[in-house]
Amino acid sequence: MAGSDALEGLVRFYHRRLVAPAYALCENRSDAEDIVADAYVRTWPRLVRGQVYDPAAYLRRAVVNDTASWRRHRFVVRREQLRRRVAPAPDTPEDQVAGQDELWKALQTLPLGQRQVVVLRFIEDLSEADTAGLLDIPAGTVKSRTARALVALRQVVREEEDV
């Protein structure tokens, strides 16, 4: 096979047979056409050099592989679009400082024991066991103080939202 006449004949003979499965896999006529066109472009040099024994099977496989790649790409694009749509706008430095001030004020409302476990567990990122060891209290006490502290902090946040 050589020349544009050979490519035209190849497209005329195989195009419908390739677009149908591509459409069935990607469910979009325009994308199916693009996938098949890409398969021709990538397959043509091998066909010209005589490296392909069965052009129909080779092109069909290229279309199936390209469709799988297309679907993976679309999944990543959609996931990124959703992430951007759902992600909150980044805080300004002023908002971050204000949030830290609110956090510190809320922490000051807690009893010392609860404040200690919250600081060690969530600000210092220690495990329950490490927190218990550092404070020389049982792990169960760390859990109960943490639970009570979080309930109290939620209450403080609700009260501030109501104001």
pLDDT in tens, the chain (163 residues): 455 676 777 788 888 888 888 888 887 889 889 999 988 888 888 888 888 888 888 888 888 888 888 888 888 888 888 877 765 666 677 766 666 778 888 888 899 999 999 989 988 889 999 999 999 999 999 999 999 999 998 888 777 766 6
| The predicted structure's pLDDT at residue 1 | 47
Tell me: do 22 and 46 sit in the same domain.
yes
Domain holding 145: CATH number?
A: 1.10.10.10
Tell me: do 64 and 31 sit in the same domain.
yes
- Evaluate whether 142 touches 128 at the Cβ level (below 8 Å): yes
DSSP 3-state of 126: coil
Torsion of CA 10, 13, 16, 17, to 10 degrees: -90
Residue 130 sits in which domain range? 93-162
- Which residues are within 8 A (CB) of 156 and not within 5 positions of it... i.e. 6 or more apart? 106, 109
- Evaluate whether 10 touches 47 at the Cβ level (below 8 Å): yes
DSSP 3-state of 86: helix
Task: Decide which of 41, 71, 86 is a domain's last residue.
Answer: 86
Selection from 102, 7, 98 nearest residue 47 by Cα = 7
Q: What is the DSSP string of 40-72?
A: HHHHHHHHHTT--S-HHHHHHHHHHHHHHHHHH
| The predicted structure's pLDDT at residue 58 | 85
Domain holding 30: CATH number?
A: 1.10.1740
Tell me: do 116 and 132 sit in the same domain.
yes
| The predicted structure's pLDDT at residue 4 | 66
| The predicted structure's pLDDT at residue 145 | 96
| The predicted structure's pLDDT at residue 137 | 95
Task: Decide which of 33, 64, 86 is a domain's last residue.
Answer: 86
pTM of the full predicted structure? 0.46
